[in-house]
């Protein structure tokens, strides 16, 4: 039972990332009808927003510390962050320590701007083109963004640690009166799951309970009729592209302590996120979220040592096998809508 609970927790953690990326993908496809293979790159750019802010917060000046010497007896040169001068050492150190959560504020305007520029500068020219053209051009854009990040940040992983308050693990057994030490899970992975739930809930609430969201949902169902009512639906769809980019970026921001940022992390999630979208049902936002968690939990159980010993390599293909089975039995996916990508 302990192993089952632990694997469910692992699955929810993986599923959170899958669901967030797939949610953004589905928002773009549902509003604009564009198959965006650059969406994984937006996840990567969000992660590197964290790296950028961490470096900005760590900008320092060099001073000579006469009280400390090196092995030759010379006074040591010490780097003092400017934040220490501006806010004091304790506050400055706390700001640097909380760089990852603070990156949320830093990343939102950047990711929305990138999304709007991407849509206005490139994607809008491919609305009426075949999906194959959309895939090729957005995949090419993803490679360009990936190489730009590689050029400026290098090819190696860049650690982005979680705040010190969230280091360590939570003992579920001790907390709920069971055997202590039986179920231990990292604090930050729990934080990431909670963050994903809040972000997913915020997106659904925005679409359901705001006038802007209601118009967007109406435009997704019947774009021409909404346009005839005098509403500039294209502008609203552009904003939705920016919001979808922000969702992917924030998923990357908070994922950095779990998986250190690197230039190819977007590609690592891209194929799986598209499988999630297809399994959930093209254009279905609830389906994308549901499929993300279902496939995340399934992959987690397939990664158990006992399962791998019985079926070597199953953890590498279980998501695709599940997708084949689901699509054979439900061709539109778990919650797919009739007529979407069926022409």
- Per-position DSSP letters for 92-104, written without gaps between them: HHHHHHTHHHHHH
Is 49 within the bounds of a domain?
yes
Is 31 within the bounds of a domain?
yes
Is 77 within the bounds of a domain?
no
CA distances to 70, 197, 319 from 301, in Å? 52, 22, 11
Question: Above pLDDT 90, what percent of the chain?
Answer: 25
The DSSP element (H or E) to which 60 belongs, if any, is: strand 60-69
pLDDT in tens, 189-239: 999 999 999 999 999 999 888 888 888 888 777 777 887 778 888 888 889
- Separation of CA 205 from chain center: 19
Pairing of strands 169-171, 184-186: antiparallel
pLDDT at 169 exceeding the cut of 80: yes
Is 69 within the bounds of a domain?
no
| Neighbour count for residue 242 (Cβ, 10 Å) | 22
Is 128 within the bounds of a domain?
yes
Is 268 within the bounds of a domain?
yes
pLDDT at residue number 21: 87
Q: Is 186 helix (H, G, I), strand (E, B) or coil?
A: strand
pLDDT at residue number 174: 66
CATH code of the domain covering residue 153: 1.10.3470
pLDDT at residue number 28: 83
Closest among 47, 197, 166, 59 to 111, alpha carbons compared: 47
Owner of token pair 């009166």: 177
Look up the domain containing 248 and give its range: 2-58+98-329
pLDDT at 341 exceeding the cut of 60: no
Give the pTM: 0.88
Q: Are 111 and 42 in contact (CB under 8 A)?
A: yes
Is 85 within the bounds of a domain?
no
pLDDT in tens, 33-82: 788 888 889 999 999 999 999 999 988 888 887 777 766 777 778 788 88
Q: Tell me the residue length of the chain.
A: 343
Is 72 within the bounds of a domain?
no
The confidence band for 249, taking pLDDT boundaries of 50, 70 and 90, is: very high
* Average pLDDT rounded to a whole number, residues 135-154: 90
Total count of domains within the chain: 1
């Amino acid at each position: 039972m302990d192993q089952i609970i632990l694997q469910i927790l692992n699955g929810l953690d993986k599923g959170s990332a899958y669901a967030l990326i797939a949610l953004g993908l589905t928002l773009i496809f549902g509003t604009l009808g564009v198959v965006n293979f650059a969406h994984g790159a937006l996840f990567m750019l969000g992660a590197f927003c964290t790296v950028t802010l961490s470096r900005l917060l760590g900008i320092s000046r060099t001073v000579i510390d006469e009280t400390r010497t090196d092995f030759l007896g010379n006074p040591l040169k010490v780097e003092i962050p400017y934040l220490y001068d501006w806010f004091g050492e304790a506050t400055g150190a706390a700001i640097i320590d909380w760089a990852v959560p603070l990156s949320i504020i830093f990343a939102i305007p950047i990711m929305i701007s990138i999304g709007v520029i991407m849509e206005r500068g490139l994607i809008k020219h491919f609305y009426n083109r075949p999906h194959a053209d959309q895939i090729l051009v957005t995949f090419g854009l993803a490679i360009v963004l990936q190489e730009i990040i590689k050029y400026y940040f290098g090819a190696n992983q860049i650690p982005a640690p979680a705040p010190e308050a969230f280091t360590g693990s939570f003992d579920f057994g001790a907390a709920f009166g069971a055997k202590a030490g039986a179920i231990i899970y990292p604090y930050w992975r729990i934080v990431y799951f909670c963050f994903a739930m809040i972000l997913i809930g915020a997106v659904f609430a925005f679409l359901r309970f705001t006038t802007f969201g209601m118009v967007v949902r109406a435009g997704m169902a019947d774009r021409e009729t909404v346009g005839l009512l005098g509403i500039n639906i294209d502008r609203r769809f552009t904003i939705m592209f920016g919001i979808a980019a922000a969702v992917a970026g924030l998923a990357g921001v908070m994922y950095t302590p779990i998986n250190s940022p690197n230039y190819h992390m977007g590609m690592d999630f891209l194929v799986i996120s598209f499988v999630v979208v297809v399994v959930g049902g093209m254009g279905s936002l609830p389906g994308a979220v549901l499929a993300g968690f279902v496939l995340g939990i399934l992959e987690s159980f397939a990664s158990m040592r006992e399962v791998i010993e019985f079926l070597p390599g199953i953890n590498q293909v279980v998501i695709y096998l599940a997708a084949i089975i689901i699509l054979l039995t439900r061709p539109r996916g778990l919650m797919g809508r009739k007529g979407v990508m069926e022409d």
